Each structure stands twice: as C-alpha cells, then as structure tokens.
Structure 1
C-alpha cells in the first residue's frame, strides 16, 4: 500500500505501508541503533514523534513480551528502509508488523532512509505527516505545517501513570506508599520514582540493587512524597519540551536538599529548571545506542544510549552551585551535572538501556551510595 511521507518544508518521500492503512502526524526524528527497535517503540520519550531507523534491515528478530519498556507503543509511526516479515529468534513471539498493528501504529518501508536522515541533519527535526489515506503532497505539507509541534507542549501528561504503583516480580503492581514495592534485599532502600514517561528497565536496575521502588504520577506534590519518607527520589525520562511540563519544577524546588535525587533525561532537564536554569531545543537531537560521553570527574569515555531533542543550557546555571560532570564528545553539549550543595545529580543519557551499552550502569550504584551515605 502506497504511503507518502511529507515534511513541513515540502520534502516528499514515497514508501509502502507494511501495517495496512493509516496516518500519523508528529516530529520526524531518526535513531542510529543497530538493534533494540522494540525498546525504541516502547520508550515513552518518543511520544509525538515519527521514528526513522538508520539501520537498513528491521524486524529480523521479532518482538517478545520481556523486552517491553512500557505497556504500549509510543511513536506515532515507524519508518524503515526494509522490513523483514520473517523473524528468526528463539525469544520471538510475534512479528514486528503484527506488534505495530496490535497497537495501531503505522509502519512504512521501501524509501531512502539515508536521504531522509541526511536532510534532517542538514535542516533539523521537522513537523511531518505520514499517510496512506491522503496521497496529495500539497495537502499533506499544508497539514504538517499546521501541526502544533512539541515546543511548549506538556507531553508528560500523555504518558505518566494515573495511579501510583510498586515494582515487584518484574512488573507494576497497583498500590501506594511502598505497599506493593518489593525487592529481595535484606536491608532495602525505599525509592520514590516520578513517572515522566519512565522505562521499566530503570525500575529493574534499581530493584536489582536492593531498592523498593514506588512509582508516582508526575503531578504528585512534594508533601505527599516526603510523607512517604523515601531514602531517595528518582526522576525518570519522558517526552517533549521540559519547559512545557506543568507543576513539576515547583515540586522539585521543594524536594531539593530533603532527599538524594537522581535524574535521567527529562528528569535531568527538569532538575536544571529547578536549579534556576533553562533548556534549548537541539537541531536534530541525539538518538541512538552509540553516543560518546566523557565523564569529566574521571576522564573516562563511555558509549551511551540516548534519546532527547532538548538540552540543558549550562550557561544559565550558577557555577558556584552546579557542576558540569559529563559532556557529549560529538558536540560538547551537557550530558550530566551535579549540585554542589544538595545531594542531587543527573545525566541526559540512558544508563539503563538494554540491549546496548552497559558502560553507564555505575550511575545507579552512585545513587545507591549517595542514599546510604545520607542515611
């Protein structure tokens, strides 16, 4: 089935749908990972986006329930060079096409993904519409231009949980105040995790290190969190513009200095706003499993997984209060920071990512040590 990909600047690509009829509108972005497409698809940070994979063959190992990073698919559409309809992997339980169809997501193949990525890298991430229903290029470009975009929008409210839950037996269990959060440690630490669009592997990594993890909605106020008396507070990743998220910054300002805080991705950006800083939109973002990051505190370079379109402006933060700890070696942008007065640190990338680099798992250990030191 013919599918048109129309960018707001008038650029058109023609492909074929491998999931039947459909249409989607969002911001067109690309991911350079060679594997892990199921993790990409179930990452809430991709809400409002159309994802293009740069690796040319996608779908060869299928999909399985164990690699879900959330309960559903979040990109509005999934674009690939060539889809493999016959998966071969002992863990596979269904094909990628069936998985996308089950979640109502349009999949498109058979176009020059290299040309699209090169265009985005030159012009920047843009509004885009993909459709099998409307095949009029002029109409599609007009509709893409009219879309609101991500800047200034609160995308977190689309993905955060509506009720608190605990993490136990590798799954979410409804409950509050650590009533259903369980780990096997003898002396567990209690961690409250703000769900801005979190990935399950963040909860797995914390639980594996002896934490009872209680997940709360993004709108949870500071008083509620402090009443739970956690040993630490975790701020998850999430989609969109951090400056468009409502209410969270004031909550974090109240929590600073009260408990150790560890933030990832959007959580990192929200912390910077609580510190009094600002963020800006990157030209085409960092998305993939091979981004080089340097830890300025040790001099070591780690290969990281990333997925973000916004970045912390370190110039907006006081050097007397906030220290830059990590930089991206491709563009020297901020990848990590720590507060000099409060027990709080954060990174822009994803140390929990799997499959992919494990170079950054030490950050979870750092959080554990911080909580034990404060205790």
Structure 2
C-alpha cells in the first residue's frame, strides 16, 4: 500500500505504508546515526516528530528497553529507505507497529534529508491518501502539564529537584549513581513549592517544543535559579537563558546526534556531545545579563554552554551520557562544586 510524506512547502515523497490507517502529523527531522536509535526515538525532546532515518536496517535492531529515555516511543512516524515488502517480526519494527506509529518504507531518505537541510525542519504529514491538507503543529505543545510532585529516588547525600520539561531516564540513572535523592516537580511549579521541598540544588531538564512557550513562567524560574545551585540541560539551558533576558532562535536544522563536536572556551579542548534540539541561544545581551559562554559548537559556532558570573548556575545545550563520557565529569563537578559551596563544604560527584 502506497503512502507519502507531504512537506509544508508542498513537496511530496512516496513509499510503502506500514502501520495504522490514518494520517500522522509532526515536524520533519532527520537522524543519520548508525546506532542508538532506541534512545533517540524515546527521547522526550522528539515528542511528535516525524523522523527520516538514513542508516539501512535500522528497523530490524533488537531493542533493550533499559536504554529507553522514557516509557514510550515519542515520535509520530518513521521514514526509511529499506524495502519492507517481506514482513518484519522483531526489533524496532514490531515496537512501532504495536504503538500504532506508521513507517514509510522504500522512500528516498537521501533526497528528504537534503531537502530538510536546505529548507529547514518544517511541519509535515505522513498520509495514505493524496490529500494536500496540512494541519499546523499544535503551538501549545510544551506548556504546563498536570504532573504531580514525585520523589523518584528517596535516598542520597544531596536532594536534587528536577523541573520537568521532559527529563530523560538516563539523567535519573546518573543521579542515582552519584548518590542523589531526586524529586520531580511539574514545569509550572512555583518557587514557594520548590522551597517547601528544601532541595540542595535544581536541575532544569531537557524537553521538547519552543522554549518561548514557557514565557509566562520565566520570572518564576529566575526567582528559583537565583536561590539555589542550578544545572540546566537542553531545553532547560534555553529556558534559563531566556529567564535572564537572553534570546533564543529556531535553527534551520537542529543538532540531533550522539557525536556533536563542541569546544571548551577555556581549555580549547574538543569533545563529542549528546544533543537533540532545534533551538539555540543567541549571543545577544548575554554579557549584560551576567553570562559567560563555556562551550561552543565546532561546526556552526552556536552556544553550547553558559556559566553565570554572579549565581551558581551552569547550563549546557548537550546532555550527560550514561556511558563514561568525559563531559559528565565537567557537568557534574561544576554542579556539585556549587552544591558544596552552598552547604559550606566541598562535595564531589
């Protein structure tokens, strides 16, 4: 059965349809990785995306749900070049079919990726028919949810509160590894609610959507951030920059890689980082608002890390990795140094 991908600019790409018999909408992005697809498609930052994956055979990988970054697959559709005329029974294919997430197989992923790189990430629809109708992506995505306060890890030397914009499970695993007690709070929590939990520090988590959708909460976030040691990751990095008067702009194509090169502004060392975002903090008003740039992207010079000169706040566009990554030490040593200073003693991760 033939299906197609229709882009917001009117261009259409065809392929063989697998899955539910209804259209699927989302922003088109691409993934060129040769592995770690299970982490990518379960990352909350990819909620509602349609993903064009370029590596052959990627739907046949066996999944290890211990590596999932959330409890479910987050994407709205997958596009691959492989011919799936022979029924598939294992791995990612089975998981997507079970979750009613469509696959467009036998598509020209090279042409799709080239188009997205040139024209930028845009709304799209995976459709069984020949409809030219495009539905806009819900501009309210990412606004406050109704999640409750939840103490996930009940034991640990330091009590960390995560402001939840769509945290990754790997972050919890790392915090458990370094002996932290962790409470998750909704992204619309108030400073008064945070204070009542008596945390040692805060983490503004990663997540999905336009950071400006949280504009109404920025003053509250700033009040939190100046009161505790703070770590910002991914979307949390962008939101904290906005909270202190910074600017964020949508990128033509985001950084969506497990090996995105960044450079330390102090040591000039280059590291490979884990990233998944479509917006970037701009180098406007940063100095006026007390920020110093700690990391930049090697490819395009975009800002990958910030340190505040007056408050114990460090933010990173990239994420800590469950694997023994040298960036983990940089991220958590800075954060735990700030925790130790607040407690009046040095604490090491």
Whether contact under 8 Å (1:2, 1:15) holds in the other structure is: yes
Q: Residue 245 in 1 paired to residue 214 in 2?
A: yes
C-alpha separation between the residues in 1 aligned to 2:141 and 2:267? 35
Give the structure 2 partner of residue 295 of structure 1: 264
Give the structure 1 partner of residue 149 of structure 2: 164
C-alpha separation between the residues in 1 aligned to 2:267 and 2:189? 36
Give the structure 2 partner of residue 195 of structure 1: 164
Whether contact under 8 Å (1:291, 1:305) holds in the other structure is: yes
Give the structure 1 partner of residue 11 of structure 2: 11
Distance 1:161 1:102, change over 3 A: farther
Match of 2:238 among 269, 279, 284: 269
Cα shift at 1:36:
1.2
Cα shift at 1:114:
0.9
Q: Which runs of 5+ in 2 are unaligned?
A: 344-349
Give the structure 1 partner of residue 294 of structure 2: 325
Cα shift at 1:296:
0.8
SS of the residue 1:360 aligns to: helix
Q: Residue 371 in 1 paired to residue 339 in 2?
A: yes
TM-score (ref. length: structure 1): 0.85
Cα shift at 1:219:
1.0
Whether contact under 8 Å (1:19, 1:97) holds in the other structure is: no
Distance 1:77 1:252, change over 3 A: same
Match of 1:148 among 131, 136, 146: 136
Cα shift at 1:319:
4.5
Give the structure 2 partner of residue 182 of structure 1: 155
Match of 1:130 among 109, 126, 143: 126
Cα shift at 1:32:
2.4
TM-score (ref. length: structure 2): 0.91
TM-superposition CA deviations, 1:166-198 (whole Å, max 9, x none): 224xxxxxxxxxxxx234xxxx10000011011
Whether contact under 8 Å (2:244, 2:289) holds in the other structure is: no
Cα shift at 1:20:
4.6
SS of the residue 1:373 aligns to: helix
Whether contact under 8 Å (1:155, 1:245) holds in the other structure is: no
The alignment covers a number of residue pairs equal to: 340
**More displaced, 51-60 or 112-121?**
51-60
C-alpha separation between the residues in 1 aligned to 2:31 and 2:285? 29
Cα shift at 1:370:
1.9
Give the structure 2 partner of residue 110 of structure 1: 106
Give the structure 2 partner of residue 176 of structure 1: none
C-alpha separation between the residues in 1 aligned to 2:285 and 2:48? 28
C-alpha separation between the residues in 2 aligned to 1:43 and 1:131? 24
Give the structure 2 partner of residue 41 of structure 1: 41
Q: Which structure 2 residues correspond to residues 45-60 of structure 1 after superposition, within 5 A?
A: 45-60=45-60
Whether contact under 8 Å (1:304, 1:350) holds in the other structure is: yes
Give the structure 1 partner of residue 346 of structure 2: none
Q: Residue 206 in 1 paired to residue 175 in 2?
A: yes
Q: Which structure 2 residues correspond to residues 75-94 of structure 1 after superposition, within 5 A?
A: 75-82=75-82
Q: Name the Cα RMSD after superposition.
A: 2.0
Match of 1:336 among 301, 305, 316: 305
TM-superposition CA deviations, 1:38-57 (whole Å, max 9, x none): 11111111123211122232
C-alpha separation between the residues in 1 aligned to 2:136 and 2:7? 14
